[in-house]
Structure 1
């Protein structure tokens, strides 16, 4: 049984069909990539899956065998589904540790367990104990992305949805992100990944889905998908993957 299954999921804003009849499955343990041009509905799709800030208008979403399309975001999170966002979201007035603690508490953990989960997640992504007391507002873009990932990992999720983790990063930072995502998957966390950086998608994904104007344009093996002429025209322009 797939860990995540979408069947005919749609979301509209007035006459705009942001997500239009999208169906796919993600198996437990895999890294599943999602690509598409700006405005193709990728982040809206994440919103509908997690219920933050809204669910779908139509369709069925099953996570670990449970229908979640009508559940509130915190209930979905406590079933084991966490996410990050395009922007480096953090509470700037809180410390690094307090941010991660917010994640473990939101996931339903009690005080002692929540603190231990937060500390372990921060160390996993590369923060030292000396960093725990730093205000999040002092961090670099890459460090803020690491903090956002640690906050999600502290929830102890079964699946993690990553929304453009490589955006605004340098090449060395992208390489570090690829390795960090690999290590996260090695913890047994299934990953659903939105990204524009093709090197990252091609390095990590077992399956690749391409959205265009809210609909599924292509789905399958990443190298086959990026060679699809429809994908080349809609997303890659004249570029091809060697």
Structure 2
């Protein structure tokens, strides 16, 4: 049984169908990539899967066999499904350590304080934020370090699956390479990863399976090399003339 199953999920805003009858299945332990041009519905799909800030209009979502489409965002997170966001999201007025500590407590309500602190420290060190950074305000960090903090806060919840929304955006080439290694190590921890990017080369370096969205619908899905060779995918990214060339 797949760890995550999405069946016929749709979300509309007025007449705009942001997600239109999307289905996918993610197996435990894999890195699953989702691509698509800007505005194709990728982030909205993450929103409806995680219930943050809204669920689907219709369709079914199962996580480890449990229906979650009607659950709250915090209820879904406590089942072991966490996410990051396209923009660097943190509590800027709190320290790096305090941000990670919130994740540790949010993921496991009732956890003892000492255990939560230990979990927060481990998550921060895992992403490369060492103890000298723990006391810095999150709002003072660089873009890359804020992305690392967002990942650490999510990992501190002890997720079984982690949804990453464009982790490479606004990063330099060396930072992107570091990010690729960090995502691989995250998967090696036993965390299943679903990854959004519109940069296909980033997804190709990580994903075992790839799904491409366009205008809210599934355009292609399958083995990454086959998907990016699909003429419909080429046209969606490059346009008809470039596709013909």
Q: Same fold (TM over 0.5)?
A: yes
Structure-2 residue corresponding to 1:15: 15
Of the three residues 123, 126, 138, the one matched with 1:124 is 126
Deviates more, 1:207-216 or 1:193-202: 193-202
Q: How does 1:120-159 map to 2 (within 5 A)?
A: 120-159=122-161
Structure-1 residue corresponding to 2:195: 193
TM-score for the superposition, normalised by structure 1: 0.97
CA RMSD of aligned residues (A): 1.2
1:204: how far off? 0.3
Q: 1:180-228 deviations in whole A, cap 9, x for unaligned?
A: 0000000000000001222210000000000001000000011100010
Of the three residues 227, 230, 235, the one matched with 2:229 is 227
- Tell me, yes or no, if structure 1 residue 35 matches structure 2 residue 74: no
- Tell me, yes or no, if structure 1 residue 207 matches structure 2 residue 209: yes
CA–CA distance in structure 1, aligned partners of residues 36 and 102 of structure 2: 32
1:113: how far off? 2.1
CA–CA distance in structure 1, aligned partners of residues 220 and 174 of structure 2: 30
Of the three residues 155, 162, 165, the one matched with 1:163 is 165
1:236: how far off? 3.9
Q: Which runs of 5+ in 1 are unaligned?
A: none
Moved >2 Å (runs of 4+): 236-239
Secondary structure (helix, strand or coil) at the match of 1:49 reads: helix
Q: 1:36-93 deviations in whole A, cap 9, x for unaligned?
A: 0111100000000000000000000000110000000000000000000000111110
CA–CA distance in structure 1, aligned partners of residues 70 and 115 of structure 2: 29
CA–CA distance in structure 2, aligned partners of residues 88 and 201 of structure 1: 20
- Tell me, yes or no, if structure 1 residue 218 matches structure 2 residue 220: yes
Structure-2 residue corresponding to 1:85: 85
Q: 1:94-129 deviations in whole A, cap 9, x for unaligned?
A: 000000111111112422222111110000000111
Secondary structure (helix, strand or coil) at the match of 2:205 reads: helix
1:133: how far off? 0.6
CA–CA distance in structure 2, aligned partners of residues 7 and 103 of structure 1: 29
CA–CA distance in structure 1, aligned partners of residues 206 and 238 of structure 2: 18
